[in-house]
């Protein structure tokens, strides 16, 4: 699984509308066969920052994603709403593990 987390510093005047601004990209990515999830969360520390958590089945699925029309459209249009270039972590992992320190009994 390709696991990606990215922090999107959205311009303050667009922060409240970011989910709608990114909706087409989000919906179309989640509809990709190889997309396991593509989810946004708003930072509790900085309301102008959104964290994107996404995963793709494998390298092929990740490649299909970055070659898609909606990816090209997003990379062309969404930067206008950002305060700076997003930070990203991109790793390959075997999948989810259990958080033993928070085990529910």
CATH of the domain at 72: 3.30.70.100
CA–CA gap between residue 49 and residue 12 (Å, rounded): 9
Q: What is the pLDDT of residue 27?
A: 98
CA–CA gap between residue 41 and residue 96 (Å, rounded): 19
Range of the domain at 46: 2-92
Q: What is the pLDDT of residue 67?
A: 97
Q: What is the pLDDT of residue 41?
A: 98
- The answer as to whether 101 is a domain residue is no
- The answer as to whether 98 is a domain residue is no
Residues 6+ apart with CB under 8 A from 95: 1
- The answer as to whether 102 is a domain residue is no
Q: What is the pLDDT of residue 97?
A: 92
In total, how many domains does the chain have?
Answer: 1
CB 1 within 8 A of CB 92: yes
**14 — phi, psi (to 5°)?**
-115, -5
pTM: 0.92
Nearest partner of 29 among 49, 10, 57, 9, judged by Cα: 57
**Other CB atoms within 10 Å distance of the CB of residue 55:** 20
- The answer as to whether 67 is a domain residue is yes
Per-residue pLDDT of the chain (105 residues; tens, 9 = 90+): 999 999 999 999 999 999 999 999 999 999 999 999 999 999 999 999 999 999 999 999 999 999 999 999 999 999 999 999 999 999 999 999 999 999 998
């Amino acid at each position: 699984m390709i696991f990606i987390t990215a922090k999107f510093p959205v311009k303050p005047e667009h922060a409240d509308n970011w989910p709608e601004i990114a909706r087409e990209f989000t919906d179309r990515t989640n509809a990709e066969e190889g997309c396991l999830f593509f989810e946004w969360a708003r930072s509790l520390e900085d309301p102008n920052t959104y964290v994107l958590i996404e995963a793709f089945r494998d390298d092929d699925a990740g490649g299909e994603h970055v070659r898609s029309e909606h990816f090209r459209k997003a990379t062309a249009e969404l930067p206008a709403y950002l305060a700076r270039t997003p930070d990203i972590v991109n790793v390959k992992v075997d999948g989810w593990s259990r958080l033993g320190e928070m085990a529910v009994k």
